[in-house]
Structure 1
Amino acid sequence: MAQVDKTKRIGRWYFGGIASAMAACCTHPLDLLKVHLQTQQGGKIGLLQMGVRVVKNNGILGLYNGLSASVCRQLTYSMTRFAIYETVKKQLTKDGGVMPFYQKVGVAAIAGASGGFVGTPADLVNVRMQNDIKLPKEERRNYKHAIDGIYRVVRYEGPTKAFNGATMASSRAVLVTVGQLACYDQLKAMLLTSGFFVDNMNLHLTSSTLAGMIATLLTQPLDVMKTRMMNAPPGTYKSIMSCAVEIGKNGPMGFFKGFVPAFVRLGPHTVLTFLFFEQIRQNMGDDPVS
């Protein structure tokens, strides 16, 4: 039997969504704390203090509030972007070619914009469910789960409300997908050619960690604005610019509020996503590029 070159394996379109959902189950508490930090205006509470407050007020399960929406978001947003990226990548490399970095960035940008739009309803519900425990009891939305949340948004607030913040979500998704998918592929290829790495877990861990750092750096300002816009009552912000002006009242660092938990969350999520992705791809015996 001919030997299979594992370095040329391309994941099937749904692998990324499954891997991202698995990673979300592990990193959800960090994502929740990030949302809490980003939605406080002028607050001084740090990551650990916020974690203690959530557990004290709502118990340990409070850290997993909105988990169903987080998983739903990955099964829409991440599955779409991975599907587009991996499918196009497979077509462009089917004759044994190698995608130059600019092509990876271009494909990742299109995939991210598409995934960000598709995943906006679940993302909106995710932010609301995570932030619900901070609100007074009479103001809480109390969504039972992600599907209930999306249904209630569409029914009582209108279909367009489900895509509130879609522009910001898609813009952020472009940057995070470039940082994650394109940079992961490029870093992985560069490390392989260095001669110090082989295609194993050490390579995947190093590449995904660096990709997570790049993605966090690129996306943090947009992530803060996206979270604010999605969680704000109707009419609070007239535009993205008005949201930016409001955040800017706290100074430039207001755009990087929650940066540490954002990296702590996005870094492990990126690492786990690609470790799961590579493992699923290997175990499923996906066909290598011909």
Structure 2
Amino acid sequence: MPKSKQYPFYLGGVAAAMAASITHPLDLTKVRMQASGDPSMLHSLQSTLRTAGVGGLWDGISATLLRQMTYSLVRFAAYEDLKRRFTPTDAAAPSTSQLALAGALSGAMGGMAGNPADVILVRMQGDLARPVGQRYGYANCFDGLVKIVRDEGPKALARGWGPNVIRASLMNASQLGSYDVFKGMLLGAGMKDDVRCHSIASFAAGTVATTVCSPADVIKSRIMNASGSTNPLTAITSALATEGPRFVFRGWLPAWVRLQPTTVLTFVFLERLRAAVDTARGEP
């Protein structure tokens, strides 16, 4: 895999926002399973349709777009920058360890940048799973931002930042890093650098990322959805006592089902956006 070209920093955020707009209902189902304890993906979908109709499947879409244009924009931009910094100018490509390190560091940066949007997103998506009197009722992401700062103080926007940063670091290392590794393997095996190659590499990356990130994702969702004071240790202890160790993989299937198309669409869109930039530059 040749050393990557430089592209506009915002392409990753735009590609991720495009993908997330399509797959939002699956992300909504995953969060509601993790936060409310719904027994299955189908049960969670039925509950949403019964209480809010088809439109309810896009609850929190404004927060999703805000999250992608903070979290994903930063993680993709930082990842590409760190890959260039970690790789000597005369090297053909970064090593697997360099990709993993670049992914982990850029993921942590993205997790911190996107934490406020993530808090709002988790609350908006999980609202209908809460008792009527305990719902947040945010009209959109900006309404949620104002109400959180007003009612709970600015510090509330950092709720769950620890597990969120850990999860983002794991996600980036296992998703972006493994995508580059799988893509390099496919190109090395003689496959063309086309949509088929991008789809296979991103599918493999999505499976790796789902499994690696599940524990941190579950804990993050429960902390962010809580209205009172809590912390990772309390959340873990309580879940272990009531649900056993398997709770860390609760929602794995909807997470995988959601992350696979999101990962594939994100990388396919990103590669197409890069191709469009190349065309505009007059490059092959």
- Which residue matches 1:229? 223
CA distance in 2, matches of 1:251, 1:135: 23
1:141-220 superposed matches below 5 A: 141-195=136-190, 197-220=191-214
- Which residue matches 1:31? 27
Q: Which has the higher contact order (CA 8 A, sep 6+)?
A: 1
- SS of the aligned residue for 1:28 comes to helix
State the Cα deviation string for residues 131-179 of structure 1 (Å, max 9, x = none). Answer: 1112233322111111221122122211111010001100000010011
Give the letter for the 2:273 counterpart: I
- Which residue matches 1:246? 238
CA distance in 2, matches of 1:242, 1:141: 23
- Given that 2:7 and 2:277 are in contact with CA atoms closer than 8 Å, whether structure 1 keeps it comes out as no
Q: For residues 287 and 253 of structure 1, do their structure 2 counterparts lie closer, same or farther at Cα, with a shift above 3 Å needed?
A: farther
- Given that 1:7 and 1:199 are in contact with CA atoms closer than 8 Å, whether structure 2 keeps it comes out as no
- Which residue matches 2:80? 86
- Given that 2:76 and 2:106 are in contact with CA atoms closer than 8 Å, whether structure 1 keeps it comes out as yes
Offset of 1:210 from its aligned partner? 0.3
- Given that 1:10 and 1:287 are in contact with CA atoms closer than 8 Å, whether structure 2 keeps it comes out as no
Work out whether 1:107 is the aligned partner of 2:102: yes
Percent identical: 38
- Given that 2:3 and 2:92 are in contact with CA atoms closer than 8 Å, whether structure 1 keeps it comes out as no
Moved more, 136-145 or 268-277: 136-145
Q: For residues 73 and 170 of structure 1, do their structure 2 counterparts lie closer, same or farther at Cα, with a shift above 3 Å needed?
A: same
Offset of 1:90 from its aligned partner? 3.6
TM-score, structure 2 as length reference: 0.93
Offset of 1:10 from its aligned partner? 4.3
Which segments of 5 or more consecutive residues in structure 2 lack a partner in the other structure? none
- Which residue matches 1:40? 36
- SS of the aligned residue for 1:12 comes to coil
CA distance in 2, matches of 1:7, 1:240: 39
Moved more, 124-133 or 248-257: 248-257
Moved more, 246-255 or 130-139: 130-139
Please identify which structure carries the higher helix content: 2
Which segments of 5 or more consecutive residues in structure 1 lack a partner in the other structure? none
CA distance in 2, matches of 1:62, 1:30: 12
- Given that 1:9 and 1:288 are in contact with CA atoms closer than 8 Å, whether structure 2 keeps it comes out as no
What value does the CA root-mean-square deviation take over the aligned residues? 2.0
- SS of the aligned residue for 1:97 comes to coil
CA distance in 2, matches of 1:53, 1:211: 31
